[in-house]
Amino acid sequence: MSLEANKAFAAVLTAGISFMVAGLVGGILVHPHRLEKPAIDTGEVVAAAAPAAPAALEPIGPLLASADVANGQAIMGRVCAACHTWTEGGRNAVGPNLYNVLGGPHAHKEDFNYSPAMKALHDKTWDYEALNAFLNRPAGAVPGTRMAFAGLNQAKQRADVIAYIRTLSGSPQPLPQ
The set of residues, in sequence order, having a beta carbon less than 8 Å from that of 41 and lying 6+ positions away, is none
Backbone angles phi, psi at 125, to 5 degrees: -95, 140
**Residues 99/89, Cβ–Cβ less than 8 Å:** yes
The per-residue pLDDT of the chain, averaged, comes to 89
Task: Give 125's strand partners.
Answer: 105
Vertex 141 angle, CA 138 and 146, to 5°: 45
Task: Give the separation between CA 23 and CA 20, rounded to whole angstroms.
Answer: 5
Closest CA to 102 of 70, 72, 77: 72
> Residue 51's pLDDT is what?
58
Q: Which domains does the chain have, with CATH numbers?
A: 61-167 (1.10.760.10)
Task: Give the separation between CA 149 and CA 161, rounded to whole angstroms.
Answer: 15
Mean pLDDT score, 30-35: 79
Backbone angles phi, psi at 105, to 5 degrees: -75, 155
Per-residue pLDDT reduced to its tens digit, 67-112? 999 999 999 999 999 999 999 999 999 999 999 999 999 999 999 9
Per-residue pLDDT reduced to its tens digit, 115-162? 999 999 999 999 999 999 999 999 999 999 999 899 999 999 999 999
